[in-house]
């Protein structure tokens, strides 16, 4: 009999321990760092599968650190939403770790391997910690652990990455300070930091100005962390100049963990009742998301740097998720489209970034104008890119199609026909910029033929994770369409009091 | 009117100071071009939040008449009229200070690397040099 109740803390503790082990082992043998990191993340991923099974069959896991009862001690809570996000972030961290093997030696140098993997493991620790914790202040600490490791890892690429990392640091620290201030306001009126306890104590204080201020600060603070439209300015540079493996993990696992934190604070701590009565912010979220979807796509069209284009495309996709959040109260689908897109976007963007970085790794190709004939030179990587791009555009039965279908259903049910038009328009823009690349890679032939670039396929450890994600884009899409995980989404919605239209 | 001022401004002066400090820090982070000055702003901002937390735990009138003391449980229990300061915000801020110090350390390391790379810590000049490098290649 496995002590599954202890797994939430194990998943964090093992990771932190491993980070220190890597630093020590790295002094003896630099090659071992990668394998320790990979083994740890694989182990964490297996633990997260057990956690999900336990949560689905038995119920929410509560773990009290040091045996202190919740309102006083720190509590780790894993319910269906946590378990779902935990699996997503660990799966993508695992693929990013496999992917990092070759790219890190190439980009950062073998000398710095131990430091890199130590920071990488600390980043994973922070991301996992954000997902499993049930305590507001603990969330702050883990968010800061993940961010600090992230700043250092982005800067590891050197050159332009330094200023990108610095800007991210200033804005990220500001966002986290806002969140800390929000905790101060909540603590001053309730005297507790536990999320479940806050949920019980807050309803009597909803009219209190301090609670309303806290909501605004928490929303803006976490909004900066997940690069929601007007607060996204740090994001394109950071994604563009970061080392390959870090681009992958930051654009998927880290971004998803931040969005999870935002959803958790909005729906679990403040609840839907508070927002509908005192902070009618969902309408504004919908509009901002719509602007993000169009703005991100239009700016992406204008980019020649593939990674930067994908970064702007991420801004548009965060818009999709936030549109799902904004529409959640006015449809019976609730948060389902938003939660779907958390998984879907992680799969698609992970694959696209892996392909984009493989091009840079093999041929130093970051400018899409140089992609002529690439589809014939790097067939597997380009095929993965093609599948993910088609999925992004929304080819049925891919994950991108499922998200768009559910978002359109949600918008129609809410009677917001304008947002349906926005979804169609942004899809059109996505076709423009992805088709341009696909055309260059597969169709166009340079006159003379000699000017075509000569490169070989990327190494196995780099294209396999990308292909896995690309194939998953379609498999997961079919699973969504069959509807197997929908009861899981309904469980999350009913936990938040969503899914029933008043 | 005077009572209102006394009640909201003089008795709660610590909150006002923390708000003023917060705004000074915020201004420096947004408006200053020098990378180090931005960090000083960040530091002031964080310190202002620590002050805010510590102010939350304070009890008593704040005029030096009755102050809260350390929360100590004596052998015979807590005697009547014993006012003690809530220790939890202080503990939280110990964590907060550690986090702030770590952030500052990473940021300063970045500034050093930027200085090595570009020979300046003025944001405008760094951007100009980046442009030059881009045009050169």
Contact, A10 vs A47, CB < 8 A?
yes
Place of tokens 């992680």: A346
Half-sphere exposure of B18 (CA within 13 A, CB side): 16
Question: What is the distance in angstroms between the Cα of B127 and the nearest Cα belonging to chain A?
Answer: 9
Answer whether B92 sits within 8 Å of A152, measured CB to CB. no
Q: Which residues of A230-261 are buried (b: 16+ CB within 10 A; e: fewer)?
A: ebbebbbbbbbbbbbbbbbbbbbbbbbbbbbb
pLDDT tens for each residue of A108-164: 877 888 899 999 999 999 999 999 998 999 999 999 999 999 999 999 888 888 999
pLDDT at A457 over 80: no
pLDDT tens for each residue of A33-70: 889 999 999 999 999 999 998 988 888 888 888 888 88
Contact, A352 vs A391, CB < 8 A?
no
Domain that holds residue B130: 2-72+81-136
Question: In Å, what is the CA distance from A251 to each residue of A334, A353, B137?
Answer: 25, 8, 28
CA angle at A106 for the pair A227 and A27, rounded to the nearest 5°: 95
Question: In Å, what is the CA distance from A387 to each residue of A268, A308, A347, A438?
Answer: 36, 20, 11, 10
pLDDT tens for each residue of A267-290: 888 888 888 888 788 888 899 999
- Give me the pLDDT at residue A67, please: 83
Residue A491, number of CB atoms within 10 A of its CB: 15
d(CA A19, CA A33): 9
> CB contacts < 8 Å between A and B, how many?
68
Answer whether B106 sits within 8 Å of A169, measured CB to CB. yes
Contacts of B109 in chain A (CB under 8 A): 152
Mean pLDDT of chain A: 87
ipTM summary value: 0.91
* Range among A445-449, B7-11, B37-41 rated most confident: B37-41
Number of H helices, E strands in chain B: 5, 0
Name which of A193, A56, A201 is nearest A138 in CA terms: A193
Q: Does B84 touch chain A (CB under 8 A)?
A: no
Q: Does B95 touch chain A (CB under 8 A)?
A: yes
Contact, A308 vs A465, CB < 8 A?
no
Residue of B35, B46, B117 lying closest to A177 (CB–CB) = B46
pLDDT tens for each residue of A395-445: 888 888 998 999 998 888 888 889 999 999 999 998 988 888 888 888 777
Asked if residue A195 is part of any domain, the answer here is no
Answer whether B103 sits within 8 Å of A144, measured CB to CB. yes
Q: Does B38 touch chain A (CB under 8 A)?
A: yes
Q: Does B52 touch chain A (CB under 8 A)?
A: yes
pLDDT at A502 over 60: no
Domain that holds residue A469: 280-502
Tell me which of B87 and A447 has the higher pLDDT.
B87
Chain mean position to CA A476: 17
Provide the domain count of chain B. Answer: 1
CATH number at residue B6: 1.10.287.3510
Q: pLDDT-derived band of residue B39, with 50, 70 and 90 as boundaries?
A: very high
Answer whether B45 sits within 8 Å of A148, measured CB to CB. no
Contacts of B111 in chain A (CB under 8 A): 166
Provide the domain count of chain A. Answer: 1
Contacts of A166 in chain B (CB under 8 A): 35, 107, 110-111, 114
């Amino acid at each position: 009999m496995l002590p599954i109740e202890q797994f939430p803390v194990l998943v964090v503790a093992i990771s932190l321990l491993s980070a220190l082990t890597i630093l020590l082992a790295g002094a003896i043998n630099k090659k071992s760092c990668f394998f320790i990191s990979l083994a740890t993340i694989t182990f964490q991923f297996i633990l997260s599968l057990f956690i999900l099974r336990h949560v689905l069959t038995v119920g929410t896991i509560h773990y009290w650190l040091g045996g202190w009862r919740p309102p006083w001690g720190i509590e780790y809570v894993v319910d269906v939403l946590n378990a779902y996000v935990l699996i997503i972030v660990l799966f993508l961290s695992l693929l990013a770790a496999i992917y990092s093997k070759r790219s890190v030696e190439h980009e950062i140098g073998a000398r710095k391997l131990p430091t890199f993997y130590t920071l990488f493991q600390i980043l994973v620790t922070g991301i996992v910690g954000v997902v499993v914790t049930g305590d507001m202040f603990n969330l702050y600490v883990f968010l800061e652990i993940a961010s600090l490791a992230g700043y250092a890892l982005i800067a590891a690429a050197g050159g332009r990455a330094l200023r990108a990392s610095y800007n991210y640091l200033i804005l990220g620290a500001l966002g986290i300070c806002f969140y800390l201030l929000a905790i101060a306001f909540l603590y001053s009126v309730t005297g507790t930091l536990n999320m479940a306890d806050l949920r019980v104590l807050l309803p009597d204080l909803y009219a209190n100005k301090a609670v309303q201020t806290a909501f605004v600060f928490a929303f803006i603070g976490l909004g900066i962390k997940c690069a929601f439209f007007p607060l996204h300015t740090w994001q394109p540079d950071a994604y563009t100049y970061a080392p390959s493996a870090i681009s992958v993990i930051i654009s998927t696992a880290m971004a998803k963990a931040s969005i999870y934190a935002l959803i958790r604070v909005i729906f679990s701590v403040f609840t839907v009742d508070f927002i509908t009565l005192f902070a009618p912010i969902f309408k504004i979220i919908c509009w901002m998301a719509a602007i993000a979807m169009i703005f991100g796509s239009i700016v992406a069209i204008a980019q020649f740097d593939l990674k930067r284009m994908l970064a702007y495309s991420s801004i548009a996709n965060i818009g999709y998720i936030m549109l799902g959040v904004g529409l959640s109260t006015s449809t019976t689908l609730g948060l389902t489209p938003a939660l779907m897109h958390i998984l879907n976007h992680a799969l698609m963007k992970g694959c696209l970034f892996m392909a984009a970085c493989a091009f840079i790794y093999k041929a130093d190709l970051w400018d899409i104008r140089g992609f002529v004939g690439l589809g014939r030179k790097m067939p597997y990587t380009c095929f993965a890119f093609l599948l993910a791009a088609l999925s992004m555009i929304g080819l049925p039965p891919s994950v991108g199609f499922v998200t768009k279908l559910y978002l359109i259903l949600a918008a129609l049910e809410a009677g917001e026909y304008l947002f349906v038009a926005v979804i169609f328009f942004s899809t059109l823009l996505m076709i423009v910029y992805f088709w341009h690349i696909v055309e260059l890679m597969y169709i166009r032939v340079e006159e003379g033929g000699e000017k075509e670039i000569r490169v070989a396929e990327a190494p196995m450890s780099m294209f396999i994770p990308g292909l896995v994600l690309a194939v998953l884009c379609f498999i997961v899409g079919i699973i969504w369409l069959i509807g197997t995980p929908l009861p899981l989404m309904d469980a999350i919605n009913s936990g938040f009091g969503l899914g029933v239209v008043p | 009117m005077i009572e209102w001022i006394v009640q909201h401004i003089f008795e709660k002066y610590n909150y006002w100071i923390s708000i003023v400090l917060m705004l000074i820090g915020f201004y420096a982070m947004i408006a200053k071009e020098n990378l180090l000055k931005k960090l000083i702003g960040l530091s002031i901002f964080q310190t202002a939040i620590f002050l805010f937390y510590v102010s939350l735990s304070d009890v008593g009138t704040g005029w030096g008449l009755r102050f809260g003391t350390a929360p100590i449980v004596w052998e015979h229990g807590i005697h009547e009229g014993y006012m003690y300061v809530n220790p939890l915000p202080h503990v939280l801020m110990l964590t907060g200070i550690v986090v702030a110090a770590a952030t500052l350390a990473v940021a300063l390391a970045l500034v050093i690397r930027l200085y090595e790379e570009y020979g300046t810590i003025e944001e405008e000049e760094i951007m100009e040099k980046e442009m030059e490098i881009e045009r050169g290649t």
